Amino acid sequence: MPLSRTDSCVDIDFTLRRTFKKANFRPLQREVIVAALDGDDVFIQAATSFGKSLCFQLPAVIDHGITIVISPLLSLMTDQVSALRAANIEAATINSNTTYQERQRLLGDLETGHPVTRLLYVTPEQCNADGFRKHLRVVYEQRELARIAVDEAHCISEWGHDFRPTFKELRWFRESFPDVPIMCLTATATPRVRQDVLATLGLTEAKLKVFTMTTFRDNLHYEVRFKCDQEDHYSDFLCWLKQVYKRRAEDPERRSELEHKKERLDNVSGIIYTIFRQDCEDLAARLRADGIGARPYHAGLRNEEKNETLRRWVTNEKGYDVIVATTAFGMGIDKKDVRFVVHWQIPKSFEGFYQEAGRAGRDGKASICIMYYSREDRDRAFNRLSKDGKAQSNLEARIRTLQALIAYCESTDACRHKLISEYFGEKETPHCEYACDWHKDVKNLKRAKLNGLESEEWVSTQKDLGRFDYGYEGYD
């Protein structure tokens, strides 16, 4: 039984200002929200930091009933729930960290059939539990199930970089509650992934509105720096960072502006992504020894230590300027002034790269995304893939995305923004204003590649001789 829908656009603007404290909608947010309130299914693909969450949060506040938000990311759920509660919205989460009492309270709320909770964030695993499904049926029968929002919807598709089998089971929602609208959100879906997500969830054209926005972020400057095993690229990075500090200090206008705002000259927030935990520790220690406020962050650290590091980094404390992290870091973190994201080695997928790089410049100000690329790291990435048990279920897709990322790194013939938008199936070429290494100096780019990368022949000889190790343990 569908809910009765509100069609008042006045409500939308009022709620945006009063509850969410935002002055205006960003382009297309209004259209998405109106489609949701009209009861349509919605697929929304938009760049990192576009403001996708508002597209289900605002309808959840206006609509009658409860919105179930499905997300694979615990930190994202916790962050969003805290922000919503701070805005006096009844939001909660049930996940593996929820206490027994809180879980019972929330299930009891559902059992009434008329929950006071407006947004309930859960994992896909939770949605597969019989008990939870039974509670949702009660809510549905009372016509109080307003909407299902599936965040990171690319996880549904075996063609996605982050396929999670439990997401496939979400088809249960359409089968059980055919008239409850579903909203899918992602920043990273190729056309193939999009089709797969829609088909898996059972969303058909009749009631579906698809919003695909460009992946282009004009304030991000993309750059690939070439390296090889023979040389340590640490000094290249350190030199670059020190130059950044120097420029801030030497520009009198900038200096007085920073002093006025009581900002440190060396407070340039950044993230460096590495593959292994040990690399995080070593690199952070090395940077600290060189006077940079760097801290490691990976899944092997105690929760208290991770939370402390995160808190201090978010509040720009001295000594916490640069986070050296594995991919465990950054999901759901909405720090606006991250000025650089560096990939110390090639990551495992194009989408992962785009998403991680996208944590830079969420305030819209110029920020830089640097990828250090070597052919030895490329081969190691393939090797890890072949040994990764989890990757086997969609190995072909994972190989393709890694190949695409390699092509991006090796390319010296096109704008980086163009390469990214093409990967995601966009037809229009983004208007890059010298915001990539190719646009800035193509000759230099070609020269750097020639000088920086080892030849294929050398790499394969070294590989045959077993000269570079293929370490695998200690991810994340």
Ligand X SMILES: Nc1ncnc2c1ncn2[C@@H]1O[C@H](COP(=O)(O)OP(=O)(O)OP(=O)(O)O)[C@@H](O)[C@H]1O
Pick one of 22, 30, 207, 288: the residue that binds ligand X (CB under 6 A). 22
β strands within 161-249, DSSP E: 182-186, 208-212, 220-226
For ligand X (CB under 6 A), the number of binding residues is 16
- Applying CB under 6 A, which of residues 102, 334, 433, 441 lies at the interface with ligand X? 334
Residues 298-327 within binding reach of ligand X (CB under 6 A): none
Annotate 124-149 with b (16+ C-beta within 10 A) or e (fewer).
bbbbeeeebeebbebbbeebbbbbbb
* Local structure of 271: helix, strand or coil: strand
Q: Which stretch binds ligand X (CB under 6 A): 23-31, 172-180, 212-220, 340-348?
A: 23-31
Which whole-number Å values give the CA distances from 376 to 72, 106, 263, 327, in the listed order?
32, 51, 40, 20
β-bridge mates for residue 371, sequence order: 224, 343
For residue 333, the minimal CB distance to ligand X (Å) is 9
> Of the ranges 47-55, 155-163, 175-183, 196-204, which one interacts with ligand X (CB under 6 A)?
47-55
Cβ-proximal residues to 191 (8 Å cutoff; 6+ apart), any chain: 425
Phi and psi at 83, nearest 5°, equal: -65, -40
Which among 222, 223, 227, 225 has a CA at the least distance from the CA of 374?
227
362: its two tokens: 């969420």
Give the one residue of 37, 52, 63, 436 binding ligand X; rule: CB under 6 A.
52
Tell me the window of 46-54, 124-132, 248-256, 339-347 that interacts with ligand X (CB under 6 A).
46-54
Which residues are bridge partners to 270 per DSSP? 322, 340
Strands 145-150 and 294-297: unpaired
**CA gap 121, 81 in Å, rounded:** 8
Q: Choose between 25 and 408: whose C-beta lies nearer to ligand X.
A: 25
287-to-234, 294, 456 alpha-carbon distances in Å: 9, 6, 31
Q: Which is nearer to ligand X, 53 or 374 (CB)?
A: 53
Shortest CB 187 distance to ligand X, Å: 4
20 versus 172: smaller Cβ distance to ligand X? 20
Q: Candidates 20-28, 252-260, 322-330, 440-448: pick the segment binding ligand X (CB under 6 A).
A: 20-28
Which residues have a Cβ under 8 Å from the Cβ of 140 and sit 6 or more positions away? 1, 176, 177, 180
The stretch among 50-58, 260-268, 337-345, 460-468 that binds ligand X (CB under 6 A) is 50-58
Q: Is residue 48 part of the contact set for ligand X (CB under 6 A)?
A: yes
Contact positions with ligand X (CB under 6 A) in 423-442: none
297 touching ligand X, by CB under 6 A? no
CA-to-CA distance for 409 and 375, rounded, in angstroms? 10
Do residues 387 and 472 touch, judged by C-beta distance below 8 A?
yes
Using Cβ positions, the residue closest to ligand X within the complex turns out to be 51
Could you tell me which residues are beta bridge partners of residue 475? 276
Shortest Cβ distance from residue 21 to ligand X (Å)?
Answer: 9
53 binds ligand X (CB under 6 A): yes
User: Quick count: other Cβ atoms within 10 Å of Cβ 396?
Assistant: 9
- Nearest CA to 154 among 354, 329, 298? 354
Token pair, residue 112, equals 């009434």
Closest separation in Å from C-beta 456 to ligand X = 36
Using the 8-state DSSP alphabet, how is residue 207 labeled?
G
CB of 183 to ligand X, least distance (A): 12
Closest to ligand X by CB, 290 vs 334, is 334
Q: Is 49 in the site for ligand X (CB under 6 A)?
A: yes
Q: Phi and psi at residue 213, in whole multiples of 5°?
A: -110, 160
Q: Which stretch binds ligand X (CB under 6 A): 34-42, 51-59, 232-240, 319-327?
A: 51-59
Candidate segments 17-25, 215-223, 233-241, 276-284, binder of ligand X by CB under 6 A: 17-25
Choice between 24 and 392, CB closer to ligand X: 24
- Read out DSSP for 410-459? H--SS-HHHHHHHHTT--SPP--SS-BHHHH-HHHHHHHHHHHSPPHHHH
Please give the helix or strand (H or E) that residue 195 lies within, else none.
Answer: helix 191-201
x/- mask, ligand X, residues 341-380, rule CB under 6 A, reads -----------------x----------------------
- Beta carbon of residue 220, minimum distance to ligand X (angstroms, whole number): 12
Please identify which residue in 50, 163, 167, 273 interacts with ligand X, judged by CB under 6 A.
50
Least separation in angstroms between residue 51's CB and ligand X is 3
Binding to ligand X, residues 138-197 (CB under 6 A): 187
Which of the ranges 52-60, 91-99, 112-120, 380-388 carries the binding residues for ligand X, by CB under 6 A?
Answer: 52-60
Residues found near ligand X in the complex (CB under 6 A): 22, 24-26, 29, 46, 48-54, 187, 334, 358
